[in-house]
Amino acid sequence: MWTLKSVINLITTKIRNATRKDKISNVDLADVLQGQAEFVNERHDAMVETFNTMSTAFIDRFSNLSVTFYVNQATGNDTNSGLSSAPFKSLARVSQFVNGKFERVTVIIVGNYILKEDIAFNPLELFIQIQQNCTFTFAKRVYQGGFVGETNYSLIFLGYTLAFAGSGTSNIIVEDNAGFSSGDAYTWRDNQGAVKAGNYNRLGYVRTSVTFYVFNSIKVGNNSSLVTGSKGLNYQDGKSRVDAEFQYINNWTIGANATITPFARRGIFRKAVLFDNASVWKIVADQTELCLETGIYSVQVFFSTNSNGGVVFAGIFSGMFAWYSEVTGDSNSTAAEISMHGMAHNLNGKTLRLRTVTTPAGTSQRIEALLNETLSSPTNLQFVFTKLD
């Protein structure tokens, strides 16, 4: 292998041989050349050292590199740079660019966006910002394959933290779909979920956090699901590991047979219940609506009744209970009350009670509620279920 020193020696020899018959001293020429070569050699060594230092620093930073892209579905172009002055057109282009390359990715959605294809992201952290007065829509899709029916297109997240951020006037819509028609029902359920989150590594399924915050409204259409684990509406058996959070959502619209966070390790359930008799237990939901895994749960219930004839303002009740997700072999209905603790801005002596009811074989169990005040219109109850691992 040639080295700089061997090149210097070879050229020096050739020049000395070539100048033996000339009046110019071959020694002088060789000395000049050697001086230049030594200078080049010093510069070469310095450049190598600088390059190695920069390469090491770049590699160290690359593993923690973050990036921001802009997407405008109306005016963008996927051949653009993705900068604010030249946005991409699709989230698919962003995923092609960032998957496997960046740990932290921010996407600014400019204008309305309709998701009409499944898109997968795998950075550790993904932040999607929806601008003011804009709407992000998960469109419905029609299947004619393993089953006949409709679901919604999905944003599939394989990292650890996913956040959708609005501006107070932004909106999220999961379009109505017709649900299952015929064929393989398991495959239909597996394809449910506007946001499907699940991260699997050599240690098994790890926990993924999905957060929506500061939105004017979230609509989950008929037969749709907002956030699911990797198996959609199928029983997760510990594989979902999704923690779903919703903060500062002004308005909710939940369609028929719709679910917000089915089989999430931490998720929410919303139901309007009419407490028209202070001594009668009211059915809240059964397993087909709740979609809880078998296990031990803490439960928080948030509600106010002051806007529909009651006196409770910003009530919060919490408790702990056991749940079995499959049908039971019991021949009789059995009710077990959940011990609840309550506080509020103003309770005025009112108490919310909860109980689980195990129904006879062939049907699923349910949760019921009792509130010791009589109201003229339904009260919205928001349940936060957290499975205790």
Q: Name the residue among 252, 75, 225 with its Cα closest to residue 140.
A: 225
Question: At a CB cut-off of 8 Å and minimum separation 6, what does 140 contact?
Answer: 150, 151, 152, 153, 175, 176, 177, 178, 221, 224
Q: Convert the pLDDT of each residue in 45-103 to its tens digit.
A: 777 776 666 555 554 445 458 899 999 999 999 999 999 999 999 999 999 999 988 99
Angle of helix 4-18 versus helix 26-62 axis, rounded to 10: 160
Calpha distance 315→29 (Å, rounded): 95
* 250 and 168 in a common domain: yes
Place of tokens 């917000």: 260
* 157 and 279 in a common domain: no
Q: Convert the pLDDT of each residue in 126-152 to its tens digit.
A: 999 999 999 999 999 998 777 889 999
Nearest 5°: the CA angle 269, 270, 272 is 150
pLDDT band with cut points at 50, 70 and 90 for residue 240? low
Q: Phi/psi zone of residue 237: left (φ > 0), alpha (ψ -120 to 50 degrees), beta?
A: left
Average pLDDT, the chain: 87
Would you state the pLDDT for residue 3? 63
The structural domain count of the chain equals 3
Q: Longest Cα pair distance anywhere in the chain, in angstroms? A: 122
- In this structure, of 69-83, 128-142, 233-247, 308-322, the range with the lowest mean pLDDT score is 233-247
* 318 and 255 in a common domain: no
* 290 and 144 in a common domain: no
Nearest 5°: the CA angle 272, 170, 82 is 140
Calpha distance 199→263 (Å, rounded): 15
* 203 and 123 in a common domain: yes
* 237 and 90 in a common domain: yes
Q: Phi/psi zone of residue 33: left (φ > 0), alpha (ψ -120 to 50 degrees), beta?
A: alpha
For residue 22, pLDDT over 60 is answered with: no
- Cα 264 to chain centroid distance, Å, stands at 12
Radius of gyration of the CA atoms of the chain, in A:
32
Report the predicted TM-score, pTM, of the whole model to 2 decimal places.
Answer: 0.79
Helical ranges in the chain per DSSP H: 4-18, 26-62, 91-98, 185-190, 287-290
Q: Which domain holds residue 196?
A: 65-264
* 224 and 298 in a common domain: no
* 108 and 175 in a common domain: yes
Q: Say whether 17 sits in a helix, a strand or coil.
A: helix
* 132 and 252 in a common domain: yes
Would you state the pLDDT for residue 151? 93
Q: Name the residue among 106, 184, 171 with its Cα closest to residue 134.
A: 171
* 228 and 204 in a common domain: yes
Domain boundary residue among 213, 248, 264? 264
Dihedral of the alpha carbons of 304, 308, 309, 310, in degrees to the nearest 10: -10
Question: At a CB cut-off of 8 Å and minimum separation 6, what does 349 contact?
Answer: none
